Amino acid sequence: MQKVESIGLVGLLLLLTGLLMTSGLQAAEKQLAYVVSDGRIPFWDIMKRGVESRADALGYKVVVYSAENNAKRELELSAQAIKAKVDGMVISPTNSSAAVTILKLANTAGIPVVISDIGTDGGDYVSYIASDNREGSYQIGKVLAKAMQARKWDKGSVGIIAIPQKRTNGRARTAGFMKAMDEAGIKGAGIRQQVTFSHQETYDFAKALIAAHPDLRALWLQGSDRYKGALDAIADAGKKDQVLLICFDAEPEFLQMIPHGELVGAAMQQPFLMGEKAVETLHAHLMGKPVQQQILLPILPVSADNIANMLPVIRRNVLGIKAK
């Protein structure tokens, strides 16, 4: 009798162990997809790391799909993610109109989606994690206006090399920046919209704006990774000390360039934090908790006046350099 009871107890323990192992296996199999417009661009790579970092902490596996700035490829990759039956998706679409189709496909498959930056022109989604592009651009516009006024250059004009204005965030950036220019009485010198996001394209746009506007005193690049294209065009036009450059987002080099005056400043989004927030929000939704449909994160208007105090936040949330 004791032997039978002993065997029964062992069997029960084995059964419980099996159930726990199965439960752990199921938890490990939770999977999210991150569909990003172009993972080759540092901004998106940092956001991807934020997504992966928070997902790992919450027990999710993340599969990253980079469209490499190709809307058709983005749609194909989204279909792949949906076919894989992921538990949820985070998307940073190529543009706001492309997001509508992705949302429609995901909703049909019953897969919840959180949008991290760019935005959408319509469709159903769990939440939109966004930078306050309008306010951030307004604040960096004020930084530029102050720099131009200090040099008595405020009668000159400013050219914009913009991200596509089809994007919700692109339109917001332009509107916020132009509000600051209008308030300062500084004229606009036209806008060029990026397509390839290459060094050559940025160089050509900057060169064209400088040539077309003899009174040009500054360029605003609505991105950061191709800043060298703009600086090269300024130098080749013989305008190194006559045309200022200000950017959106950030590169590690900016931590030295801004204090040294090579760059007036930058409106720094917080992509690592955005990636974390996107996963946190998707996780809360999957756990049945209520979430905000839109979460606006502040953009940091960084200049030589404040960069020293903001370094810890910039390193982690902007550049994705986590403290050890």
3-state secondary structure 107-148: HHCCCCEEEECCCCCCCCCCEEEEECHHHHHHHHHHHHHHHH
Spatial separation of the C-alpha atoms in residues 58 and 307, rounded to whole Å: 33
- 38: which 2 tokens? 């172009």
253 and 142 fall within a common domain: yes
Residue 265 CB: number of other CB atoms within 10 A? 27
146 and 114 fall within a common domain: no
Report CA dihedral (102, 293, 284, 290) to the nearest 10 degrees: -130
251 and 141 fall within a common domain: yes
108 and 147 fall within a common domain: no
Identify the pLDDT of residue 323: 66
Identify the pLDDT of residue 302: 98
292 and 247 fall within a common domain: no
287 and 263 fall within a common domain: no
Query: Has residue 306 been placed in a domain?
Result: no
276 and 127 fall within a common domain: yes
Identify the pLDDT of residue 1: 40
Identify the pLDDT of residue 167: 85
CATH number at residue 87: 3.40.50.2300
Identify the pLDDT of residue 313: 96
- CA-wise closest residue to 79 among 69, 89, 172: 89
175 and 255 fall within a common domain: yes
Identify the pLDDT of residue 225: 86
Query: Has residue 172 been placed in a domain?
Result: yes
Identify the pLDDT of residue 254: 97
Query: Has residue 74 been placed in a domain?
Result: yes
Q: Are strands 265-268 and 300-303 parallel, antiparallel or unpaired?
A: antiparallel
137 and 92 fall within a common domain: no
Query: Has residue 312 been placed in a domain?
Result: no
Strands of 244-248's sheet, edge to edge?
A: 187-193, 157-162, 216-221, 244-248, 265-268, 300-303
Contact status, residue 154 vs residue 174, Cβ threshold 8 Å: no
Query: Has residue 280 been placed in a domain?
Result: yes
Q: Look at the chain and report how many structural domains it folds into.
A: 2
Identify the pLDDT of residue 34: 98
212 and 87 fall within a common domain: no
Burial class (CB in 10 A: 0-12, 13-18, 19+), 119: buried
Domain of residue 222 covers 133-268
Query: Has residue 5 been placed in a domain?
Result: no
Query: Has residue 80 been placed in a domain?
Result: yes
146 and 251 fall within a common domain: yes
75 and 104 fall within a common domain: yes
Query: Has residue 241 been placed in a domain?
Result: yes
Beta strands in the chain (DSSP E): 31-36, 61-66, 88-92, 113-116, 127-131, 157-162, 187-193, 216-221, 244-248, 265-268, 294-297, 300-303
Q: What is the chain's pLDDT, residue by residue, as a tens digit (324 residues)? A: 444 344 454 443 344 444 444 444 444 579 999 999 999 988 899 999 999 999 999 999 999 999 999 999 999 999 999 999 999 999 999 988 999 999 999 999 999 999 999 889 999 999 999 999 999 999 999 999 999 999 999 999 999 999 999 888 899 999 999 999 999 999 999 999 999 999 999 999 999 999 999 999 999 999 998 999 999 999 999 999 999 999 999 999 999 999 999 999 999 999 999 999 999 999 999 999 999 999 999 999 999 999 999 999 999 999 999 765
